[in-house]
Structures are given as C-alpha cells and as structure tokens.
Structure 1
Amino acid sequence: MALLDKAIGRRNFLKGGAAAIAVAGLSGCVPDGKDASDPAVESAKAHAVESDAAIVNGEGEWVTVDCWGNCGGRCINRVFVKDGVVLRQKTDDMKEDTVETPQQRSCPRGHQMRQHVFNANRIKYPMKRKSWQPGGGENSHGDLRGEEGWQRISWDEALDYVAQELKRVYDEYGPRSVVCMGTDWPVLNLLGGRLQWNGTESYGNWYNAPVRMGGNIGNGLPDCLVGNDRMDLKNADTIVFYGMNPAWHSAGNPMYYYRLAKEAGTEFVYVGPEYNVSASVLEARWVRVRPGTDTAFLLAVAYEMIRLDDEQGNIIDWDFLHRCTVGFDAESMPAEAVINENFQAYVLGEYDGVPKTREWATEICGTPVEDITWYAGQMRKTRDVMLLHNYAPSRYRGSTDLPQLFLTVACMGGHLGRSGNAVAATFSIESANSGTKLVKLGDPAIGGVKIGAGVASVVVPKNTLEYSELPKPTIWKDMDEGHYTGYGDYRNGALDNGWVKKDGYLPPKEFDFDPKIIVNDYHNPLQATEDVNRGIKVFKKMDMVVNIEYRFTLTSQYADILLPCFTAWEGNLDPDKGELQVATNGIMRLSRAQCNRDYALFSRPAVQPLFESKNESWIYVEIAKRWGFKESDVFSVSDMQSYFNRIAGAEVMDDDGVTYKTLVTISQEDIDAWGVEGEPQQGVISLKDVLEQGYYQVPRTKDDNHGFYGYEDFVKDPEENPRSSASGKLEIYCQSKADAINWLGFGSEEVKPYPTFHTTTYQESFANWERKEKGAYPFIMYQPHYLRRAHTCFDEGVWIREAWPNPVYISAEDAAAKGIETGDTVLIHNDAGKIVRIASVLNTLMPGCIAVPHGSRTYLDPETGIDFGGNENMLVDHKTQDDFMPQCDGYNSCLVDFEKYNGKPLAADCQFEPVLWTEE
C-alpha cells in the first residue's frame, strides 16, 4: 500500500510499533496507549525528520526512476521528490501483488540507488589533471596519471582541450591512434573513425555457435528469446540452473518466479563448482563440476544417455533427433558435411579411441560418476526439463564447443518447443521470463541503423575505419606493444554475427599502430578489463585520456580531462522549469533494456542536473562545433525527440496474442509542450498517466493467449518453419561453425563441426597432468557476479558495502590446508598482480578453486603493488584469451595461488574513504 494513499486507515497506518511512534511524533499526536512522557515517544521525536511529514502530507510526488545497471531485473524504483530534492526511495507498491500481475520489486542494488546518485564521488564540474598540458610527449606528464590532484576548469576550456588535442592527433597520426573504450563517441567518426575494443565479455563462447547451428540471437543476446515464459516454469518436472545464480546476477522478480515453480512441485538442479544461494533457496540438487570442465561433464552425460537408452529405452528422443536435428548419428548427416563423422560415434570413441565415459570425465570435471549417471537419467525424454544457462560456464578457455554441446544434450531428450521444456539463456531482461514481448518501446531513431546488441542508433556518422576492432582480451597488451590483428566484429555483422568468413568478409590483418589518445564514456574500462596493471601502464603512455562520467572511477583517476555527465535521474520534462532534457548516457540508449516481457518502464527525470554536469550528447555536439560541424552531423534526432519516439512508438500485444496496438495516447498539446515532431494518436493509456505511473504492465492469466514456448513452431513443423542454419534444422554437426572458426587460423588445431573436448584450465593448472604434479598457480579463480553491484556500477554506497563485504570464497578443505579461517586477510597472487581480501570459508565450494566477486574497485599500493580493493582483474591477463576465438574473454580461466597475509589485517571496505581529488 502506497504511503500517500489517501484512503489509508489510521489503524493500518499506525500498526508497526516504532513506525507508529515516529509518525505520531511528527504530527504532535501520541499513539493510543502511549504517554507523552514515554521515553520511546521522546526518542522517536528526536529521530523524526521533515521528509516524513512531507510524504504523509503529500507535499511532493513519487517519481519512477531508472536503474541503469545491466543486471537485467529492470525493477521499479520510485523516489519522493519535494522542491527538486529526493527525500525518500521505495520500490513497486502501486498495485496488489499477484502471480498474474506481480509487483516489480527492486533488489538491494536498486534500494540504495539514492546513495549512488548523490554520492561523494560525483564529478561536479570539468576537471583537468594538474600537470597535464596539450601537445603530447613530455607535456602530458603521463607518469603522474593516477597519482596527482585535479584543478577545476570551465566547460569551454575542457572542450577546447579535447577538440584541439583530438584534431592534432588525427592530423599527425591518423585514426588508429585514437582508441574509444566507451559506447560510441560518435563525434570521432567525423574525423575518420577510431579503434575500439571487441570482446564477448558477458557471453564467452556462446555468441558464435547458436545462430549458425539454428539457435537464436534475441534482443542482441545469444540464445535468448527461445526460453519459455514465466507462467510455464511450474510445468517443468526439472529446471536445471547451469552455472547460474539469479539471486545475485538477476535479482528482483526472477527468483520469485522460480520460487513459485518450486512451490508447484518443480525440482531444481544446480550444476557448477559451488552450491550458491539460488540453489540453496530452491533446495536444488547439486551436481559438482569443476570450473571450466563442462564439456567433459556433458560429453559423459551424452555417453550415459546413449548407454542407458540401449539398456532401458525411453531415454533418447530419436524421433526428435531425426526430425529436428542433423549430425547426431550416421543417419542424420547434413548435405553440407565435409567429413564423414558424427557426434554419437565421437562420444563412443570411434575416432580418437577414447570413449567419453563417466570414468573418463570424472578425472577432469570432478563430478562423482553416480551423479553423471543420475543427471543423464534426468534428461530422458519422458521428463519435462528446462535447461537454463547464464553464459558463465563459457567464459573459460576450452569451452569453444560448450554452447553446441549444451543444445545437443537437450535435443537428445527432445526438450524443446513444448510446455515444461526449454533450452535457453536466461539473462538480463530475459531472466525467468522469455518470449515475444507483450509490451515494447518504440525505436528512438524511428528506423535508425541497428549498431549491435539490438541498440537503435540516432547517431549519424558511422565508424568506417576498416579493421577497427581490437580483441578485448589482449587490448592492453596490443596497445602496449603497438601491434594488433584485426579479426572483425563479433556482433555488428550479418547472420553470422560478423565473424570473418571466406565469402564476403575481410581476412584477418595485422597492424602496427601508435595509440596516443584514449576516450571513454560512462563505462569503467580500466577497472573492468583484464590486466589492470598493464592497463595502467598503457594509460600512462597516452598523450591524453578523456573520460565522460558522472562518478570518479578508477578510469577517471587515470584520466587527464573529466567531463561530468548527468544520470538518468536527472533532466527536465517541465517547460516551466527551463530547458527540456533527458539523459542519453551510454546504456541509457538501450531501449530494449527498458522492458522485460510483461512490462515496460517509462521512467522520467526526478531532479535537475546536478552541479555543472551536462548530457553526453551535448558534449559530443560541442566538440563537433569546434571542428566546424553542426548538431545534425552527429545525431539524426534530438534527445527529446528520441525520448518521445520511444514512448510514441510503444506497443502492447492485443488479447489475440498476435497483433500489437498503440500503447500511449498522445495529444497535440503533448507534442507542442515537448517541442517535438509527431502526430496525435489514441492508445490504451495517456502520456500523463503512463509517466506518472512510470510503467505499463500486461496482466497474465493461465488461459490467456500470451504463453510462449521457445522453438514451438519449428518443432511442430521443421520444414515449414526452418531455423537460420544452413540445413534449416538444429545442427549437432555444423559445418558453418567449424569453417568460421578454422578459417581465422587462430587456434593451434582445427575444431570439428560437432562438439568435442578441448583441454581445460584445470588440466593446465598442473605442471605435469599425467603425474598430477601441480603447477606454480594451482587454483582456478573465477569471478561471480555479486549482488552488491552490476559490474563496477552501484558499488559506492555504504549500505550495500556493509551488507555485501566482497570476500574471497575458499573451500573448507583448501583453507584448512593453508591455515586460513573466515575473517583472515588473504593474499591472492600470480604473475599479473596481487590482491588482498578477507576470507569466507565455505563447505559449499569445490576444492581447487576460489571465487572473487567481479567488479571491485582497485586501491593500489604503489610500494607493494598490492590492490587492497580486491579487483579480480588485477590477476586476469591476456593469457586467459580463448584458444580459438580471439575476441572471446576466457577471464574465468585465471590461475592463482593464495596464502594468509602477513601484513596489517584488511578493514571492511565499507570503512574505506571515498576516492576523492583535490580542487583548486
């Protein structure tokens, strides 16, 4: 019930003890049964604040605001604003919470957004590093980056510095000397383009195979939009969480949907190296698999399914395999096959003499043999099984064929295209609720070019520089050495996602280059990219580093010019309060990220831009003007037009489950007030109402026409509804996959068209695998996404730091061997760097691996080289790059050692002072 609900009864309002006393203290009343002299009443009065009275008396308004982390929850956060100041924050309480129309409640990250937006580390105005001067070389004083203070400068000074220095470098060195680490910096394309990184980051090896073998790229995300919708979860006998922890990485409603399935009788299975909180909440059976060894495990599962089917029958769905797939056995080989080999024969050992038995696998993956057999039995065709993953298992070296193998096991049981059965990613906005959107926002650019990941671009100039992509896993190494190989863009291409190939794409090509300038916007690449120490070295070598940001990140610390942008909470939609403006920073252009399947956010600014911050688009236009260009040379439409287009183009699916209708009613008065172009239209809800409400949600019922089963049409009639693969079917033998990878010539061996086993990081941790002699760095360190933050975002708040202390997780067995207990300070190290963390010793983690949560800020001690912030990327370097795909980040394949730290014990990082700067 909303606090401002005027119908709220006194009894309901006052129930709650301390809350009742606090409210009474504000109003001058005394609750029933309480004496005015009661110490509790006096205490409540002392703690009462003016904002409580403002909310009770309705002196401001609740505004639905954005939560821009890409964790995927797309939860509702609302702030109470009075006189342009945010006084309180809450989540969704605007409707009754039902299964059909659930409240979209935010997670702890969202709860503390107020501490993030109004944080001490906000960049208030343009800044210049003290000793930096334009002109390059010694003028840059690059050795002092990250180590000296700042001086405040005007916007004109800052923009003049940036424009002049960029023009100098373009004229003297060319576009390959400018590297964009952020989203776009479209203004650079006016001078001939720029280099940028290219990596699979979140997706690991999952990006290449799915669309080639008949899978899907949904909303720009591999293997998405092919799961089933949330209402169908309860129809599964078993739901497999493969390497997933949605309670942390997609907090919000997804775990609620899974809990409802659990209550309806669905059993859960968790596969991975640790029994995480999601598995615990859902009482999942744990199938232990060492980090990065999933291909060994799943090949043994396939072997067991074949064996059990021979012995018992009713395990493998042979009808499904022969109708809907190619390449499982000799009978189903595709016409495109170049070699006469099939998956079943490989699993049985006919080609390499190694049957992929459970005994073979357990030595590698560590899974008990009885668990492999049990899991194979769970995959049988007579059970309804949903196989869900979250990409993490493919962020390892040796996982090249994991996506194809994951789908293959699902196909062996026929677990696609029907109620209770699915095989898909459940990631970001797809988490626990897949399928065609029931409500969707319009295209910000109205027909603008799609620039990747489903992003609609309003940018006019495109990057026409050929071979402009630096493989992200080696970006600091390549920039340091002045040499890179261009391989193409893994997601900005056609059907095959842009991987280079024989027909129509450029071959790999090597370049010597001389990087002079790094520019960044709204991201935090120095903190969030592998090999931080080498990244710092590269930053110090630059002539200029420019960062557009709203907060003082590690990337900001090592920059020269800071250009403060405002957040999505800031702007103005009221013509009476000045210029109309909405935020366009980086990810805020991702209109697809404003929706999950059932509902769309219509967030709006809550406060005016803070301090001297400007919109990112304004910054680009002002730079362009200094080169003689105009606004229309950079953006096809204004920020307000883009914002309007998203709303005006919003659609909601009709009751028939097929057609869409206009969502928002817009009048000519609305159009005139915003000064945009458009036509009046009639929809389901008015512009005023949808902005006041802040969202639109489609109610569900069990009998509606909005249910969704991934691959349903294809499975019913493969001939009439072919997939995107060469054969039109799901390809267990996929010639296209093998050709694309092998043609690159990056791998030391050729991959097969069907999924096979490749050496794992676990095996590489041994100096001698045959004799089981461990190497210098015998532990695999993987980096789970953590509830405290989304990547490096939202980490500044004291509340969330107190609640989630960011330890290193160590198995009880490994901790005992090293004399470590929970609470001890631990030094973790390898050749790349050193970090310290406080130990959390667990019985729920497999020995031989440790977990350091992803995204922590670096606090580097220059004397010892130790990072006291615990940034895992201090230890991950270019050697984790995938064996076959150069753009693939295998950062979980990080080998380390650790021991009890002999220095001063590490304080909880909620006690760390904010990273600030000097101002003059």
Structure 2
Amino acid sequence: MLPTPERPTLATHWGTYRVHSDGSVPVGLSPYEGDPNPSPIADAMIAARTSPARILRPAIRRSFLERGAAAGGEARGAEPFVEVEWEQALAIVAGEVDRVRKDHGNAAIYGGSYGWASAGRFHHAQSQIHRFLNVIGGYTRSVQNYSFAAADTILPHVIGDRRGLASGHTPWRLLAGHAELIVMFGGASPKNAQVSSGGLSRHTLREGILACRDAGARLVSISPIRDDTATEAGAEWWAPRPNSDVALMLGLCHTLLSENLHDRDFLASHTTGFERVAAYLLGEPDGVVKSADWAAALCELPAEDIRALARRMAASRTFLMMSWSLQRADHGEQPYWMTVTLAAMLGQIGLPGGGFGFGYGSVNGVGNAAHEIAWPSLPQGSNAVEDFIPVARIADMLLHPGEPYDFNGEQRRYPHARLVYWAGGNPFHHHQDLNRLVAAWKRPETIIVHDAWWTATARHADIVLPVTTQFERNDLVCANRDLMLAASHRLADPAGEARDDFAIFSALAARLGVEEAFTEGRDEESWIRHLYGLARQRIAAVDIEIPDFDQFWRDGITLLPEPAKVKPLLADFRADPHAYPLTTPSGLIELFSERIASFGYADCPGHAAWLPSAEWLGAAAAKRFPLHLISNQPATRLHSQYDNGSHARASKIAGREPLRMHPDDAAARGLRDGDIVRVFNDRGACLAGLRTSDALRPGVVQLATGAWFDPLQPGEPGSLDKHGNPNVLTPDRGTSRLGQGPSAHSCLVEIEAYRESAPPVTSHEPPPFFSRQP
C-alpha cells in the first residue's frame, strides 16, 4: 500500500505543484518552492477536471453501434453518440481489434499517440498503447515528432547523431562567461519554455539568458516576432521575412569566405565537403553569388548589417542558437544544416561559449547541466510489424494506401490502415490542413480514441473511452532535463466512469488472451515501485543516493545535484577527431553529404542550400495572400491541453483565439483591435479575435496553435472554423523527400473583417447524444 504523503504533489509538463485540498478534492495548487519562474498554466487544471467537455462514460457513434464497421466513416464528426456500459464498449473494441488483425494483419492497425498526455513514467499514454498493441502482434507506427521531424532526419547525416537537438546541449554554465555573442535564430521564447516533455521542477530559461547577458554576452534575436525573446534580455531584434533564414546565413558565410574570416584549419581537420560549399557560395554551380547583397534582397535586411554581423561573429566567441520552429517549414532541413555550416566556418564548435545548439527556449531544460541517466519507462516491447510512416504523413497514409513515397533515402509504400487506435494526443490540433484530415479521417473502417475531454479527435471517433486525468491517478515523474524525481499523487476520484489507460488495456488484453504479457502481474503501485527501483539503481551508478521508495513517496520531490563536470557539445570530437570520430560516413562533420547527394532529391541536395518556400512573402502566391502566418506555440496552454480551462479562455476575444497583426496591416484593411476577423486561404478559413501589436514585422500575423477545432458544419471538409484553429490554413506537405516533416510555417493567408453575426463557439461543450443510459 502506498504511504500517505506529507503534502500531496502534482507533477505536470508545466511544473511541479504542492496541492491544497479540502480533504476530498484539490482546491488549489502552489508552485514548487524552488521554481524561480512558475507557469500559470496550472491555474486551469482544477476546474477543467469537471468541465462540461469532460467525457464521463464510454460512447459510441450511433450508426457504428448499430452496424459496426459497415457503417462507414462519412458521418464521423457529425453524428450523435450513444453512451454505453463499459462491458459493452470493451467487448466491441476487443472485437474490432481482433477482427482487423485476423482479417488484414496487424499492419492494418495504426497506433496513434503523441506522448504529451502525461509527464509520468507509468501513465504515459504512448507507452501504454504501444505496449498493448505489441503484445497482440504489433501495429503500424510513426517515427519522428511534430516538434523537430526535419531536424531529426538531417542531423545524423551531418554530425552523426542528434546531440544538440533534444539532449547533449552545451550547458548554460558554459555559455555564461564564455560566449561573447549569442545569435538566436527564431529567438528563445519564454512561453515555449514553460513546458518540458518529462516534467520539470524549475523554469530555467530566464536565468540562463540573463546569466549570459550579465556576463557580457551580446544577444541578437532573429525572428519576425520581437517577443520571441524576452525584452529584459536586451537583445538586438532583427526581423527578416519568414523562411529566409538560410539566405541570411548564406550571406553571412559568403562574407566570412570573401573576407578570409573563416577558420581554414578547423574546416580542414574536422569537416568534409567545404570546397563544394565554397563553390556554391561563390555561385560556381548556378551563377548566383550568395553575397550579403543577394541575401539582403531576400531577407529585406540591410546588406551592410549582414556583413557587420559576420565580422562580429568572427571576432567574438560566438554561439548559434536555433529554435525548433524554423525547421517546421518548406525545406526545413536546410536551416539546421546551414547552422552547422556557419558554425564550422567560425571554427568554434566544441569550445565553451562557441558552436551551435538547437531548441534553447523551445522547451524548458534545454541547456541544463544533467547527468547521463537512462530514465526508466514502461517497456513497450517488440513490434513485429516493420511498417511505419513519418509522423506528419498520417493523412497521406489514410488517403493513399499502397502508394509510394520517399523518406530518408528509401522508397516506401503507405500501409492500408483499416483501424486507427489513438490514446494520448489530439491530431486535430497538431496536424496541418485539418480539412484534408477530416476527409482522410473518414477512410478507416474503425477509429477508437481514449480521451479525457471531448476534443475534436474524440468527436471524430467511432468509439470513445473516457480516461483519467493527472489528478485521478498516481505516477512517477523523472524530469529528464531537470535533476528531479517527483511523485504525482492521486488527488481525487475519477470523474464519472473514467478509467486509466492501463486499466483499459489490461481489460482488453484479458479479452484477447494476453493479460499476463501486458501486466506482468503488476498493478499501478507495483509498476511505480518497480520503475522507481530501476531509477534508483541507475542514479546509484553515478554515485548519487536517493531515498527508498516509501520515503520518496511521502516527501513528494527528490532533487539530484548538478554534475561536477560538463562539456560543450562535440568537445571530445574537437579535441581529437581521430580518437572521437562522429558516426557519419567520414567520421567528420559533413558539410557536403555524398549519401544525401546520392538520393537525387531536388528538394534536399548534397549541401545546405537556398530553396525558396512554396509559400513565403517572396512567392508569387503572396499577391493573393499577402500575409505570412506564424502558427506558433501558445502562451496559455500546452499545445491544445487545457484550452477549455480558465487561463486559455481568459485570453480569447469574444471566445475566439487572438490573432496578432501589425497596426499598419490592420489599418490597411480597415480593422481595429477587438474585431472578429476571417482568416483564409485556399485550404480553409477560421474566425479569430484581432489584437494589434508592433511586436510583429509588417506582413506577418501570428495565430497560436491549440484552439479546439470547431467547424461550423461538423464533419464537413472546408467548413469555417469558428474558434481560431490555424491548422485549417496550414499546408499538409512534407518538408522534403528526405525528412517528410511538417511545414506549417510556410503559410500565406489574407484577413478581412467578419461582418456577419459570429456563430457561438461550441468546442468546449459535449457533442450531441442520441440517448443516454441512466
């Protein structure tokens, strides 16, 4: 039996909290006392637990309940649901899973999840669903993630692995006092750094940035949005046209080359292919010299400023940061390859305060000094199905089963997914071109969804199973960037008839004859104790002792000391590239990749290159749609989580997601602050509330992701979204044939006043029900 905590704690993606309770339910949350800059997202959690959108009972789409998979998917998203008893729902789910795997094979099951449903090591929806599907024979999976898919694919070709992307970064303490110039492509956003996938105890971006500033570093934020970097950082603001960063970096590189400011020795000893890059900079293959003047015309920044920045970079210990956001665009692989190229020409890779790193400010904890500990998680087992898709190609898979596509040097075929099983995540939030997804979502025979709230994904399912929230279950959180283990205590009984994913999958496993393989004879408490024991062993291997489980559970939070010794990214490789070679074919940084060149991809050649986006302010399409839409991460929620909560709803304008626009752009369209506007392009349209701001470059508008998809005509592709979801506007096309990542930030729109009576927002209410069982 779990011991009684001295004071209950709740560990989430946006912070760790001490819980105030009236004895039966939580009534308040206080941030962990060691957090210098806590997130307000938690303010929404208590009331949202029992909000009108909470799913209280299993529910099945009416025609599916009557006819099963023969009902087809045309009515998904529009048809009423019927609430049923758990036994009936579980029997139908088990029957559908069994039918599909027997009739079509396990590859016909697509297991969808996005991992952010919980910060816990046990109640991690992605691990739970993948473990279940693996014990019944496997499933078609996805690879990569929406955050940095293109980068995830390109970096192993260039530096051999993914260090400096999600882990292994140069820590802040080797930047402060060493870096003299920090150039941040995409900024370092405080709102993004509210969250971390593995949970967190302390929000550290602010203190990291200010430590660098106070130690004398000069900061430059290169972004079309000024507050992508906090004002107090004192950074210079450069506002290029969106999607022109590669051109800017080429102009910087050309200046280094033409003025002999590049590090020839480092390039010769630690890289391969620079001669091809130099030829490209000089225009030898295409007749286009990539000079600062050439870059200035594309970026709309002064050429002399570009040359001056290159000289400052060469004269200083310079660190290059790049946000994850820049690779979520057409040819998103190129900014990352170009960053490594620019850093290599400066020759400071592997030095304290020098080199490059990706994702500082994209989530909390990037740049924290951390121990190299493989934190335990619920084992997912082995997948007997070899088929997979790049994560952002789900609509392509559903619309084009059996058709070929290219990915990272392979030609693959999309599997025929007849059953989609989704637990954790909301594809009707994070996927692009939602009208296309609505059409694609009609294709599978069966869609099963676990969710706590009636999100658009749940509304577009055939079978919906209600799951618990973090308040309603116990878990263990190991903050993977934050030197913390936290108990997340159960604080309330489940709302309605909600069950946790483990209980649901255990019941299904029993019906399918694999209960022991799934549970291994453990319940929730046994698994949490087991995972903590593994964590304790691995922590002991780095000579740190932590309390036994019972003491840990009573205390709620255990902190680890910082490691005594830290290194810059690629420090060993810099010191001796022969003793510590990279895992690239050459063992060196590949500024030109023979392997990528051999793929023959016109949209990803053998070295970093300027490849203009299909949609940017320099494209012909800008004549019709003259505003570049940035659909960045929200300040008031994590992705779409808690959009129904008080914190997110307080930020809305007449119930719509706020859209920011430069005052000059608003005046040119006769728009004023607080207006309801229609944002549109050829893919769709949504309503939003206008907020004017000079923090944006003219010609750029910002509409955060995460407003729950709320079409005026549910289930109909092309319907007006009433709420302000930008993904009815963003394109669903791969970044390139190499990476196939999402390209949401290459998106052009136009905006006009909405003159009709604005329809009510209904996404935070339950869907229609045909009947309710008592």
**What TM-score results when the alignment is normalised by the length of structure 2?**
0.87
What code does the residue aligned with 2:646 have?
V
SS in 2 for 1:881: coil
- The residue number in structure 2 matching 1:708 is 567
Partner of 1:727: 586
Q: 1:323 aligns with which of 253, 261, 269?
A: 269
> Is 1:850 aligned to 2:770, yes or no?
no
**What do residues 460-519 of structure 1 show as CA deviations (whole Å, max 9, x unaligned)?**
3x33223x223444432441344443656xxxxxxxxxx4x5xxxxx4243573x43321
Matched, 1:834 2:701: no
* Residue identity opposite 1:399 in structure 2: G
Matches within 5 A, 1:824-903: 824-862=675-713, 865-878=719-732, 880-885=733-738, 887-903=740-756
Match of 1:157 in 2: 88
1:807 matches 2:709: no
Matches within 5 A, 1:115-154: 115-133=47-65, 135-136=67-68, 138-139=70-71, 142-154=73-85
Q: Equivalent residue for 2:503?
A: 618
Greater alpha carbon shift after TM alignment, 75-84 vs 423-432: 423-432
Deviations along 1:788-836, whole A, 9 cap, x unmatched? 1211112211233214653122223322222222222211112221101
Picking from 374, 379, 383, the partner of 1:458 is: 379
| Contact 2:169–2:366, Cα closer than 8 Å, also in 1 | no
The SS at the match of 1:606 is coil
Equivalent residue number for residue 661 of structure 1? 543
Confirm or deny: 8 A CA contact 2:617 2:628 kept in the other structure.
no
Tell me, yes or no, if the aligned pair for 1:192 and 1:464 is still in contact at 8 Å.
yes
Query: Which of 447, 450, 463 is residue 561 of structure 1 equivalent to?
Result: 463
Aligned to 2:441, the other structure's residue is in SS state helix
Distance in 2, Cα, partners of 1:357 & 1:275: 26
In 1, Cα distance between the equivalents of 2:253 and 2:46? 50
1:96-147 Cα distance to aligned partner (Å, 9 max, x none): xxxxxx536431213433234343322222222334326545545x444323
Conserved? CA contact 1:651–1:663, under 8 Å: yes
2:332 match: 399
Structure-1 separation of matches of 2:347 and 2:459: 53
Distance in 2 separating the partners of 1:295 and 1:725: 23
The corresponding residue for 1:738 is 597
**1:347 deviation in Å?**
0.6
Query: Which residue is equivalent to 1:360?
Result: 294
Shift of 1:430: 6.9
2:411 to 493, 508, 521: 508
Q: Which residue matches 1:411?
A: 344
The one-character-per-residue Cα deviations of 1:715-736 (angstroms, maximum 9, x if unpaired) are: 2222222222222222222323
Structure-1 separation of matches of 2:242 and 2:145: 19
2:420 counterpart SS class:
strand
Q: Name whichever of 267-276 and 628-637 sits farther off.
A: 628-637
In structure 2, the CA distance between the partners of 1:693 and 1:626, relative to structure 1 (3 Å rule), is same
What's the secondary structure of 2:543's corresponding residue? Answer: strand
1:79 paired to 2:26? no
Shift of 1:61: 5.4
Instruction: Report the alpha carbon displacement of residue 89 of structure 1 after superposing the two structures with TM.
Output: 0.6
Partner of 1:519: 421
Partners of 1:367 and 1:129 lie apart in 2 by 55
Q: For the residues of structure 2 that align with 1:199 and 1:797, how far apart are their CA atoms?
A: 29
Deviation at 1:856, TM superposition (A): 1.3
Equivalent residue letter for 1:622: A
Aligned mate of 1:695, from 557, 577, 580: 557
Structural mapping, 1:54-453, within 5 Å: 62-68=7-13, 75-93=15-33, 103=35, 105-133=37-65, 135-136=67-68, 138-139=70-71, 142-182=73-113, 183=126, 184-190=129-135, 192-198=137-143, 200-214=145-159, 216-218=161-163, 222=165, 224-230=167-173, 232-251=175-194, 252-309=203-260, 315-329=261-275, 342-380=276-314, 382-426=315-359, 431=364, 433-434=366-367, 437-438=370-371, 440=373, 442-444=375-377
* CA distance 1:87–1:510, change in 2 (3 Å): closer
- Give the alignment of 1:557-706 within 5 angstroms: 557-571=459-473, 582=474, 594-633=479-518, 639-650=524-535, 660-666=542-548, 687-699=549-561, 705-706=564-565
What's the secondary structure of 2:7's corresponding residue? strand
Q: Distance in 2 between matches of 1:651 and 1:234?
A: 34
Instruction: Supply the distance in 2 between the matched residues of 1:800 and 1:405 (Cα, whole angstroms).
Output: 37
The DSSP-based 3-state class of the residue aligned with 2:464 is: strand
* Cα drift, residue 275 of structure 1: 0.9
Kindly indicate whether the alpha-carbon contact (under 8 Å) linking 2:254 and 2:290 is maintained by their aligned counterparts in 1.
yes
**Which runs of no fewer than 5 residues in structure 1 stay unpaired?**
1-58, 94-101, 310-314, 330-341, 445-456, 489-498, 502-506, 572-581, 667-686, 768-772
The verdict on how the C-alpha distance between 1:418 and 1:752 changes in structure 2, with shifts beyond 3 A counting, is: same
Deviation of 1:406 (Å): 0.2
Amino acid at match of 1:736: R
Instruction: Look up the equivalent residue of 1:697 and give its one-letter code.
Output: L
Distance 2:574 2:502 in 1: 46
**Aligned amino acid, residue 383 of structure 1:** S
Partner of 2:65, secondary structure, is coil
C-alpha contact 2:62 2:79 (8 A) present in aligned 1: yes
Distance 1:564 1:383 in 2: 56
Aligned to 2:619: 766
- Asked if the contact 2:41–2:637 (Cα under 8 Å) also holds between the matched residues in 1, the reply is yes
Q: Label 1:428 to 1:621 Cα distance change in 2 as closer, same or farther (>3 A).
A: farther
Distance 1:146 1:212 in 2: 42
Kindly provide the CA deviation profile for residues 706-749 of structure 1, in whole angstroms up to 9, marking residues without a partner as x. Answer: 3432222222222222222222222222323434xx1xx6x4x2
Q: Distance in 2 between matches of 1:835 and 1:814?
A: 18
Q: Is the 8 Å Cα contact of residues 181 and 521 (structure 1) preserved in structure 2?
A: yes
Structure 2 distance, partners of 1:137, 1:223, is: 41
User: Match for 1:389: what amino acid?
Assistant: M
Q: CA deviation at 1:258?
A: 1.4
Q: CA deviation at 1:755?
A: 1.5
Match of 2:169, SS?
coil
For the residue of structure 1 that corresponds to 2:554, the secondary structure is helix
Q: Once superposed, what is the RMSD of the aligned Cα atoms?
A: 3.2
Shift of 1:557: 1.1
Give the secondary-structure state (helix, strand or coil) at the position aligned to 1:632. helix
The 8 Å contact of residues 297 and 362 in structure 1, kept in 2 or not, is answered as: yes
**Hey, what's the Cα distance between the residues in 2 that align with 1:829 and 1:239?**
37
Cα drift, residue 423 of structure 1: 0.9
In structure 2, distance between residues paired with 1:753 and 1:637: 51
1:533 aligned to 2:441?
A: no
Relative to structure 1, the CA distance from residue 648 to residue 167 in structure 2 (aligned partners, 3 Å threshold; closer, same or farther) is closer
- After superposition, give the CA deviation of every residue in 1:175-232 in whole Å (9 maximum; x if it has no partner): 44433222344433455433344454111421122222225424xx836313224464
Residue correspondences, number: 740
Code of the residue aligned with 1:405 in structure 2: it is: M
Q: 1:308 to 1:168 in 2, by over 3 A?
A: same
Structure-1 separation of matches of 2:575 and 2:354: 14
Aligned mates of 1:324, 1:653 — CA distance in 2? 34
Preserved contact between residue 787 and residue 804 of structure 1 (Cα < 8 Å): no
The letter of the residue matching 2:750 is D
Q: Return the alpha-carbon distance in structure 2 between the equivalents of residues 169 and 838 of structure 1.
A: 45
Is the 1:653–1:661 contact (alpha carbons within 8 Å) kept by the matching residues of 2? no
Residues 144 and 152, structure 2, Cα contact 8 Å, conserved in 1? no
Question: Which of 1 and 2 has higher RCO (CA within 8 Å, sep 6+)?
Answer: 2
